[in-house]
Amino acid sequence: MDPVTNSLLKDFVTSQQIGSKDEATQFEHFVNYVVLFDLFTEEFDVEAIATGAGEFGIDGISIIVNDTMVEDEEQLDDLAENANALSVQFVFTQAKTSKSFDAGDLSKFLIAVNDFFSDSLALVQNERVQTQHKIKSKLYQYAAKFVRGLPHLLLFYATTGSWQNDANLMAIRDAYLKTFESKHIFDKIEFSPIDGSRLQKLYFQTKNAIKVGVQFPSNIALPPIVGVREAYIGVLSALEYLKLITDEHGTVRRRLFFDNIRDFQGETGVNKSIADTIASSRRIEFPLRNNGITIVSRNLQRVGNEFQIEDFQIVNGCQTSHVIASKWQADYVDMLIPVKIIVTEDEEVTKNVIIASNSQNDVDQDSFWALDPIHKKIEIYLESKTGDGVLFYERRPGQYNAVPNVEKVRVVTKDALLKNFASIFVEEPNQVGRYYKDLIPRIGKDIFNAHHEVNAYYTAAYVAFRLEWLFRNKKLDSTYKPFRFQLGMAARLLIERSHGLDPKKKLSKLNCDTIDKIMLDPEASLLVFERAVASVDEAIRQLGSQVGLDRRTAKMRDMRDMLRTVLAST
């Protein structure tokens, strides 16, 4: 392995706290991370993507449905029941530390993927791959909901060497791509070789905010606005706009649309109309027909008509952006797009822009929950901690990418905090393991209430952090990972009872400080979680032979209720 890639791998291993794993496994996690980083907008558990020992030909599998990484069939059922349409991406990786691309390894990879899409697995695969295969089979039972298009198949083969367009390798690739196409179950199929140079570039992208330069001559600077450093309105060449929203391979940068409230809706009537306009001679009228794009940036440097835009989000225009990217042809150079660029670090301004930009659309008001002021308070509180107690609350995607010495495992996303608070303090661990977004109507009431003291949110986040630390360092059996939300609830209840704390004051500083002190001590926290594990075992035993140590049981309300009963008698 070259010294640069080796150095980046070590940085990644430290950030993810996976130093106990062998180099080959670390490299597989490394590749999985850089591949998924721009496909999945939230922070994610790299171990949940890895196929692990006992697999054949595949080092990573991720099935992304409506921006959710699906881990089991029950989660998929919940998603499907609550969605009118399903957008699906199958992501497969193969990672080798070798200095060259090997025809045998490539063949094994593509053979395994091909077998994965058979009705039954012919190859001997481990439980992880078998579980993903069951999800795939269940997913195609919901094919009627593929109204935005059939699933995308994305294949990545990475080594530390150099991809040279070897004729044999390309022949193997092309043969299998034709095989995949002949199945007629995919809307898009992409094979991407990742060599050492691209691997380095992809990792650097995970560490830095996106910065893009565009030519924007047709602009008007707006007069001074309180809270806004500068703002411009005008029309931007579609070709220049594509530089903003796509990478060098023409792939849309999904992370730019994190604050856009609604994801791309696919082939809707409105989007078909946009596509028709783009493909016709009427595209010159596009600025008259389209409401335009709103870009909020934290930093902008202007030299004449060249705008260097950095750390930005497209808060309105997701549909337009995706249609332009998918329908663009080289001879559409006469097309212009109405654009607003707002440069601000004021979170209240950003919030108001997002709400105003989306108010004209049919957007459920629950979609704006992540913009509430309490999230800023939580961020400040988490960062105020020191030493091993520090955590980082990511209110916007990539917020800590460019911040040095921030371990990824210490970054807490909004969705993760919602799940952990709801499981530990609202005592709904069964619900967050299923379609947790059913909890959103409770936001502002018993979750993310503006009157809550933020110490409880830190406690919820740190309990989850410590539990994950125990799993990663093999202090606890990873078999219990599907029960992590139940274990978090159990830990809180055990500590309250053993220390004589009032459960009616579970959000109080006294209760939370007591939990925090124990969680900061790896040995003391291990003892608590070992008791929690024993309680889970007893709850399963009392529920009888119809349940087991599996994800389905972890999501049962009866399991939650029985666990509380067991804990009450402890």
Half-sphere exposure of 310 (CA within 13 A, CB side): 11
Domain limit, last residue, from 159, 183, 207: 207
pLDDT at 428: 93
Same-domain pairing of 396 and 344: no
Neighbouring residues of 470: CB distance < 8 A, sequence distance ≥ 6: 476, 522, 525, 526, 529
Taking the model in full, what pTM does it have? 0.75
Contact 418, 401 (CB under 8 A): no
Distance of CA 496 to CAs 413, 426, 465, 518, 568, Å? 26, 15, 19, 11, 11
- Give the chain's residues under pLDDT 70: 258-270, 357-371, 397-398, 402, 435-437
pLDDT at 260: 55
Return d(Cα 456, Cα 454) in angstroms, integer.
5
Helix (H) / strand (E) containing 229:
none
Neighbouring residues of 42: CB distance < 8 A, sequence distance ≥ 6: 397, 413, 415, 416
Same-domain pairing of 184 and 281: no
Helix (H) / strand (E) containing 237:
strand 230-237
pLDDT at 404: 76
The candidate with the shortest Cα–Cα distance to 32, out of 17, 48, 10, is 48
The candidate with the shortest Cα–Cα distance to 86, out of 317, 266, 326, is 266
Same-domain pairing of 509 and 532: yes
Same-domain pairing of 354 and 377: no
The candidate with the shortest Cα–Cα distance to 367, out of 448, 291, 260, 449, is 260
Ramachandran sector of residue 508 (left: φ over 0; alpha: ψ -120 to 50; beta: rest) = beta
Q: Which domain holds residue 407?
A: 370-568
- In what side-by-side order are the strands of the sheet with 336-343? 211-215, 306-316, 293-303, 336-343, 230-237, 218-221
Return d(Cα 338, Cα 289) in angstroms, integer.
10
Same-domain pairing of 90 and 176: yes
pLDDT in tens, 447-462: 998 888 899 999 999 9
Same-domain pairing of 392 and 408: yes
Tokens representing 275? 């596509």
What is the end-to-end Cα distance of the chain in Å, rounded? 53
Domain limit, last residue, from 334, 363, 392: 363
Tokens 């083969």 belong to residue: 157
pLDDT at 421: 96
Length in residues, the chain: 570
Output the DSSP codes for 380-398. HHHHH--GGG--EEESSTT
Tokens representing 427? 């005592």
pLDDT at 261: 47
Domain limit, last residue, from 207, 222, 244: 207
Tokens representing 443? 């936001």
Same-domain pairing of 437 and 337: no
Considering its fold, how many domains does the chain have in total? 3
Same-domain pairing of 282 and 241: yes
With b meaning 16 or more CB within 10 Å and e meaning fewer, what string describes 251-274? ebbbbbbbbbbebbbbeeeebeeb
Neighbouring residues of 438: CB distance < 8 A, sequence distance ≥ 6: 82, 431
Return d(Cα 361, Cα 130) in angstroms, integer.
41
pLDDT at 301: 93
SS3 87: coil
pLDDT at 214: 93
pLDDT at 264: 60
Same-domain pairing of 359 and 385: no
Same-domain pairing of 137 and 200: yes
Same-domain pairing of 224 and 127: no
Contact 510, 496 (CB under 8 A): no
Same-domain pairing of 256 and 231: yes
